[in-house]
Amino acid sequence: MKAKESIYLSKSLFIRGLQCRKSLYLHKFHPELRDEVSEAQEAMFQSGREVGTYARRPFPGGIEVPYEDLSLEEQLNLTGEKIKRGARILYEPAFSYDNVFVKTDILRKARQGWELYEVKGSTGQKEVYLDDIAVQYYVLKGAGIRISKASVVYLNKQYVRNGDIDPSALFVIEDVTQTVDRQRFVADEIADMRKALGKRVPDIDIGKHCTHPYDCDFYGHCWQHIPEYSIFNLDGRGRVKPFDLYRQGIVDLRDAPKEILSKKQNIQLESFLQKNEYVNKVALKQFLDSLWYPLYFLDFETFSCAIPAFSGTRPYQNIPHQYSLHYLKRKGARLGHREFLAEPNIDPREELAGNLVSEIPDNACVLAYHASFEIGVLKDLAASYPRYRKKLQRIVENVRDLEVPFRKKAVYHWKMNGSSSQKYVLPALVPQLSYEGMEIGNGGMAVQAYFRMCESQDQSEIEAIRKALLDYCKLDTLGMVRILERLREMG
Ligand code: SF4
């Protein structure tokens, strides 16, 4: 029993254990089974660090207890020493109690005791943050620190940058003191986690907890028995509860019970069983008749930052830095192409908006894939640049969504595997056009490449990235052209 009680835990291990005891166990004893950290996740961690730095500004003059180069013991000693010497604000102070180690983002001395601030890079409050603070509360209280107030600090999604960042307006500070003093709950969970860690790998099957509250990084390991075409790929939900089916032993798509499937799901199942494509000619014609010439195919690439990078932008606002535009001036005309890619490290929006409105005629039908995204970007541009507003609004009115026939199941190919996204539709309908072998193969990679281009000082590297970005975005709109051609053949 003693040995189990002494198993070391930290704040992040506690949160992991709350989500799934198996994840906690695997993290401790089989870290080699974890999924690889993607470049996009790395960027998210980096963004979290940036948010943390800005969040300190309303609490100036604090003393930092750094992670780097200090052992846990040294961090604890340094924290104790600073408090003893009368420090009033600490960044990342370390505490331990009951062999649970925590670092607190910001700790401020007030008249009644210490105020604890947990900084998050999101734009709203979440249930899991309360657990995060509850374990800190438990440890700090146990370590003899009197907490008078506990708060979550997160980004204000209404904040619009105007010149320099105003940290007091950028963040929302929400007092959660009343909900985080849960000593019994935390102590019981810790005891149970240690019990789980002292045995064999917990017998926990996959479930909704694999993606809630966080995407688990053992997903690849635990889900490897699920085939590529499974009940988890059924389009929409309706009466189908995939985990209920799974628990009844139904996993493969071909075993899905037809009688409980929706109409769209039955189309998906039938197409899969027959390995063919389904076409509802009436619905498809309706869609094709809604298009006209001149016909423009538009795709934006954007990036977003937790801390607004430019005046007039909000946290996580999509900033367009690139577009590709294929066009057909009339039926049977030669396919034309225009494109734009901003120079690195500038606010790209005004130049991009100016180019775009000069290239798309007012009377053009503008086709986008998953058009709500393009419409959102166009509306933001219209709000920011009054001189282009009318033309941008006209473009918005003329946008049509190429995803519609797939979302409505007017057309379905079995290889789409329940998805209407272009990444599934294109290879299913136009297999000769592929992202395979391209230096940039998806939107996430494109964003990271753009950031790399912004950081690079090497002209040849910048040129190589530019070319890869242009090739990628061009393929997106060329893909739309080819998908529309296939739809017309089917219609
Ligand atoms: S993938 Fe799911 S079952 Fe596996 S460790 Fe993670 S949360 Fe637990």
Residues with CB under 6 A from ligand 1: 20, 22-23, 26, 204, 206, 209-210, 216, 218-219, 222
Question: Do residues 149 and 286 both lie within one domain?
Answer: no
Mean pLDDT of the region 439-454: 89
Cβ pair 400, 365 in contact under 8 A: yes
The two three-digit tokens of residue 54, written as one number: 């800005």
The verdict on whether omega for the bond into residue 294 sits within 30 degrees of 0, i.e. cis, is: yes
Q: Of 283, 57, 3, 37, nearest to 170 (Cα)? A: 57
The count of C-alpha atoms lying within 13 angstroms of the C-alpha of 38, restricted to the half-sphere facing its C-beta, is 10
Domain boundary among 197, 232, 261: 197
Q: Do 285 and 191 lie in a common domain?
A: no
In a domain, 218, yes or no: no
DSSP label of 160: -
Residue 4 clears pLDDT 80, i.e. is over it: no
Q: How far is the CA of 222 from the centre of ligand 1 (A)?
A: 6
Q: 433 lies in a domain?
A: yes
Q: In this structure, are 173 and 316 located in the same domain?
A: no
Distance 231 CA to ligand 1 centre (A): 18
205 in a structural domain: no
**What is the average per-residue pLDDT within 169-197?**
94
CA of 117 to the centre of ligand 1 (A): 30
For residue 398, give Cα distances in angstroms to 227, 297, 309, 480. 41, 12, 30, 17
Give the nearest ligand 1 atom to 26 CA.
Answer: 5
Domain boundary pick from 197, 219, 239: 197
Residue ID of nearest Cα to ligand 1 atom 3? 206
One domain for residues 14 and 122: yes
**Residue where one domain finishes, among candidates 162, 197, 232:** 197
Q: Give me the number of domains the chain comprises.
A: 2
pLDDT cut 90: percent of the chain above it: 89
CA 393 – ligand 1 centroid, Å = 46
Is the bond leading into 213 cis (omega within 30 degrees of zero)?
A: yes
> Do the domain assignments include residue 254?
no
CA of 215 to the centre of ligand 1 (A): 9
Which tens digit of pLDDT belongs to each residue from 227-276? 999 999 998 867 788 999 999 999 999 999 999 999 999 999 999 999 99
Q: State the residue range of the domain holding 93.
A: 2-197
CA angle at 103 for the pair 9 and 187, rounded to the nearest 5°: 40
Residue nearest to atom 1 of ligand 1 (CA): 219
Q: How far is the CA of 35 from the centre of ligand 1 (A)?
A: 12
* pLDDT confidence of residue 443: 86
Q: Which of 83-87, 186-190, 261-265, 431-435 is the least confident region?
A: 431-435
Task: Determine the atom of ligand 1 nearest the C-alpha atom of 223.
Answer: 1
